[in-house]
Structure 1
Amino acid sequence: MKFDLHTHHFRCGHADGNIRDYIEAAIAADLQVIGISDHTPYFGSPEEQPFPAISMAKADLAGYVEEVLALKKEYEGKIKVLLGIESDYFPKHAEVYQRALSAYPFDYIIGSIHHVRDISIFNKNRWKKLTPEQQVADKEEYFNLIRQSARSGMFQIIAHMDAMKGNYPPFSEIMTDAAIDETLSVIAECGLAIEVNTSGKTKLSGGWYPSNAILEVAHHHGVDITFGSDAHKPSRVGDEFEEVAKVLKEIGYTEWVYYEQKQKVTVPL
């Protein structure tokens, strides 16, 4: 069975196409399950849409949910359409996010860390003039936030676990093995899945999130795995699904998962 749980569309302000485009692309790619998971509004501000190039407006959320649910019915029998969403985890705003999202019948919520110390993880300038010790501290804080998100109870999936390397490939060489090991142990204890996210090819790092080395540690801890292209254009739906499955088998995985009504569905690799 082929599936893709991580896709975006025009509402977030930095993706192409509408939801139907992604569903049709999934059918063309022979997927049986497609998850729609655009970025939530930013709930940490009273403004309607403080970051229009990053996330949808608050007023768009209900329409987003309604559209996905309508398309789920329309495409029944052709492909399973799942209602997902990708939500940043901000510790100081976690409760307001949880309240806002609990009003909707999401099949799953993807938890993401996109900011560390209030700077985007994709901002390569953040690393300039940092000492080696400061680099380690920033990387450890990134994984600390992932652990907090896993423990929050808000999510079923942890997104792009080492995406901080996206525009700074040397991130992978900063030695924080203990923090990574602890993070995967916490994710396993909390019963969440991590995604293999193939969108790293669109950044300077290339490759997938997370690295194969991290996937091996995840397997050691018994962490569930899912798949997400993180497509921001329909042509990337299901991108490298077979290649990911092959690598996971080599690591020792025999199955992966998706979520329906927040319940885990296991799929043989």
Structure 2
Amino acid sequence: MKIDYHTHHARCGHAEGSLEDYVKRGIGIGLDHIGLSDHMPLIHVDPASYYPGMAMPMDELPRYVEEAFALKEKYKGVIEVRVGLEGDYIEGYEEEIERIVRGYPWDYVIGSVHFLGEWDITDYRQTDGWKSRDPMAVYEQYYDAVCKAAATGFYDVIGHIDVIKRFGVQPGGDVTHLEDMALAAAAKAGVAIELNASGLRMPCAEMFPSRRMLVKARELGIPVTLGSDAHQPERLGQYLDEAGAALKDAGYAQLATFEGRRRILVDF
């Protein structure tokens, strides 16, 4: 079973390629499942005055869903297309998030924390935000948000659970307790996490989550799915061989797949 459940396309403003480009690429590289999971529209900042190209405009959301489901039907029997969303968790905007999550017939929803307030900790244009903040306080705020995201019940998967390390900024002290707190929250909520391979091409040079967290997740019985977080069609499936090996090394023998918000575990 070869799957990639984390992808983005041109509609979000900072990726390339159409949805169909990704589906065709998935067929070309032999995927069994491809998950389309573009970013939820911005809901807590003004898109007109914020950093450009962060997410699809709100009026594009129904068009995205319509196109994705049309592709699911078009390629039925050739590749399994799953229609998803990377739905940011933003504390204080739970009602707005829930309307989007409940408002469409998603196959799955990834819950990711990118924003701490109006600061996107994953945006290379905003790395100066670290200069005025205590790294340990940022890590504490981030992992607290991950725990709250898991507890909402909005999400099927927690995305790149330790993405806070993306740019290589590390606090002076140990953060194992924060990482374990987030994993415990995921286990309690009964959600899966993803092994997001894109970290291998980031400054942190490590997948999300780390091997230690992945082993801990296995001990806690947390299901795992796989994603490349591709923003270009040619990166679809990137590093997923390494990710599969890491999963097996951590003791996993099954992957989480989804359809109609139902989790289905498959051997790999």
State the one-letter code of the partner of 1:24: K
Q: Is the 8 A contact 1:165 1:172 kept in 2?
A: no
1:51 is displaced (CA, Å) by 5.4
| 1:166-220 deviation digits (Å, cap 9, x = unpaired) | 11x1427741211211211110111111111111233212231111111111112
| SS state at 1:184 partner | helix
Q: Which residue of 1 aligns with 2:147?
A: 147
Moved more, 74-83 or 100-109: 100-109
Give per-residue Cα distances to partners, 1:87-125, cap 9 Å, x unaligned: 111121111121133121000011111122432213432
Q: Retained in 1: the 8 A contact 2:90–2:116? A: no
Partner of 1:138: 138
* Distance in 1, Cα, partners of 2:201 & 2:172: 20
Query: Could you tell me whether the CA contact under 8 Å between 2:135 and 2:171 is conserved in 1?
Result: no
Aligned amino acid, residue 240 of structure 1: Y
* Correspondence for 1:99: 99
**Given the superposition, is the C-alpha separation of residues 57 and 48 from structure 1 closer, same or farther in structure 2, using an over 3 Å criterion?**
farther
Q: Give the 3 Å change call, closer, same or farther, for CA 63–117 of structure 1 in structure 2.
A: closer
Q: Distance in 1 between matches of 2:44 and 2:35?
A: 25
Aligned pair in 2 of structure 1 residues 251, 99: CA closer, same or farther (>3 Å)?
same
Match of 2:24 in 1: 24
- The yes-or-no answer on 1:225 pairing with 2:224 is yes
The number of aligned residues is 265
User: Which amino acid is 2:67 matched to?
Assistant: E
Correspondence for 1:124 among 127, 132, 139? 127
Paired letter, 2:210: S
Equivalent pair of 2:136/2:171 in contact (CA under 8 Å): no
- Superposition pairs for residues 211-250 of structure 1, below 5 Å? 211-250=210-249
Query: Post-superposition shift, 1:242?
Result: 2.0
Aligned pair 1:70/2:70, yes or no? yes
Name structure 2 gaps, 5 residues minimum. none
Q: CA offset at residue 223 of structure 1?
A: 1.1
Contact kept? 1:135, 1:174, Cα under 8 Å: no
Structure 2 letter corresponding to 1:2: K
Partner AA of 2:130 in structure 1: W
Partner of 1:196: 195
Structure-1 separation of matches of 2:154 and 2:92: 14
- In the TM superposition, residue 47 of structure 1 has moved relative to its aligned partner by 6.2
Check conservation: 2:136, 2:172, Cα contact below 8 A. Answer: no
Q: Pairwise mapping of residues 102-117 of structure 1 onto structure 2 (< 5 A)?
A: 102-117=102-117
Contact 1:48 1:57 in 2 (8 A): no
Distance of aligned partners of 1:177 and 1:108 in 2 relative to their CA distance in 1, 3 Å threshold: same
* 8 Å contact kept, 1:7–1:230: yes
Shift in alpha-carbon separation, 1:20–1:174, aligned structure 2, 3 A: farther
Cα distance between partner residues in 2 of 1:125 and 1:119: 10
1: CA distance between counterparts of 2:43 and 2:66? 20
Is contact 1:136–1:175 with CA below 8 Å preserved after alignment? no
> Structure 1 stretch 233-242 or stretch 144-153: which is displaced more?
233-242
Secondary structure class of the residue paired with 2:170: helix
AA at the equivalent of 1:61 = L
* 8 Å CA contact retained: 2:87, 2:101: no
CA distance in 1, matches of 2:135, 2:11: 34
SS at match of 1:91: coil
Cα distance in 2 between the residues matched to 1:12 and 1:174: 36
Tell me if 1:53 matches 2:56: no
Residue 150 of structure 1 aligns to a residue in which SS? helix
- Partner in structure 1 of residue 166 of structure 2: 166
1:186 maps to which residue?
185
Amino acid paired to 1:80: E
Percent sequence identity over aligned pairs: 35
